[in-house]
Structures are given as C-alpha cells and as structure tokens.
Amino acid sequence: LRTTILQPLSSTTQHTTIMDRQDFVDILIRSEEAFFDISERLSGFPDLELMCATTLCTISKQDFAVSIEGCQTLITKILALKTSLNAIPPLLDALRNLAEECTLSRSFIAAFSSPRIAAIRAEIDKVLDDTHVSGGGGGKTLNVQAQRCMAVRPGLDTLLDVARQTFQHVSQEVYSLAQSYAEEYEIGSIKVAWS
C-alpha cells in the first residue's frame, strides 16, 4: 500500500493513476489526523513484501517432506497472513473517512472489501487459533515454538493433541517442582525459563 501510494509502477504510468496517487498523498500532507490514522492502521501489517516473497515462491518437492522446521515455518507464514487479514478492517475504516475526497481510497476500499478475503480468513480460522500466539513470530525459543504448537486447533491431528497434552503436563510439573523447591529451601520464588 505504501509503495502503491508513493511510487507508481513502471507499467502503470497512466496520467490518471499518477494523479490519483498524488491526490492521496496531498490529503495525507494536508490532514495530520488522516496521516497518523492511516500510519497507525498500516503498522498492524507485517512485512507484506517478505511475507509474499516467502509464501508465494515456488516450493520444491523436497520442501513437501514433513519436518518440524517445515511445519513451524508454515504455521508462522499462515499466522502472518492471518495478521494481515485481521489488519484490513481497521485500515478500511480509516480509508472510508477519505473516500469522498480521493479516488484511490475508493479503489483500496473496493479491493479490500473482496469476499475472497473473508473466505481466506475463514479457511485459516478452521485450522489456526491465534489467541495463543503473542506476536513476534519468527523466533526459535521454546516459548515461541510452544505458541505455534498451540496455534493449531485441537482435533485436527491426534499426535499433535497428545504432544500438546504432554507438553502442558510436563510444564505444569516443572512449575510445581519449582514452587516446591522455593518452599523447601525458603527461596522467595524461582523463575522458570525456557532455553
């Protein structure tokens, strides 16, 4: 969106397209409120260029091999896509405030209001529940890996469900053991950290 507004593509050098983009930039320059509103809404999007490049690139046959890293990468990419899709409605609200003044704003509203976006979000919601994931995304710490594991909805894979229950049980045991050590040795508290 930022690139589309500020820098026309070489294939789209039509006069009206450039004028529409300049009108949009002019509105952002004249209205500080509109500028900060749009900027705030755009901050909810992950790096879309990186996400598109890594998600839409050609996948080789060896990438189809099931591996922990491969599954984690796919979950991370799908969570980034879901984050992007969830950031669209607030951006639409900000763009609707500018719809009367700007043709480009109306074009963005039409594109972002596509029913395909809701359909994609619904398909992702069938598999992933992002309430367990606290942003960040690409890390390799055990906590981030556990969050990715919890992001897959229960009931889709019995082995994952068993692993998730085992992980939760072991985690609870570790915290209970830390609490008992803290009481036994009269330590204020013991911080349990994943490494």
Q: Residues of 86-97 as b/e, b for ≥16 C-beta within 10 angstroms?
A: ebbeebbebbee
Judgement on whether residues 16 and 94 belong to the same structural domain of the protein: yes
Q: Is 136 helix (H, G, I), strand (E, B) or coil?
A: coil
- State the 10-residue block means of pLDDT for the chain, 195 residues long: 57 71 89 92 82 66 65 81 89 90 89 92 88 56 72 89 90 92 89 76
Whether 145 is in a domain gets the answer no
Looking at residue 79, what is its pLDDT?
83
Looking at residue 3, what is its pLDDT?
58
Judgement on whether residues 123 and 177 belong to the same structural domain of the protein: no
Whether 148 is in a domain gets the answer no
Looking at residue 183, what is its pLDDT?
92
Domain total in the chain: 2
Looking at residue 10, what is its pLDDT?
60
Looking at residue 184, what is its pLDDT?
92
Judgement on whether residues 123 and 162 belong to the same structural domain of the protein: no
Judgement on whether residues 62 and 106 belong to the same structural domain of the protein: yes
What range defines the domain where residue 29 resides? 2-135
Looking at residue 2, what is its pLDDT?
57
Q: How many CB atoms lie within 10 A of CB 6?
A: 12
Looking at residue 63, what is its pLDDT?
54
Judgement on whether residues 123 and 164 belong to the same structural domain of the protein: no
Whether 146 is in a domain gets the answer no
Judgement on whether residues 26 and 83 belong to the same structural domain of the protein: yes
Judgement on whether residues 47 and 81 belong to the same structural domain of the protein: yes
Judgement on whether residues 164 and 125 belong to the same structural domain of the protein: no
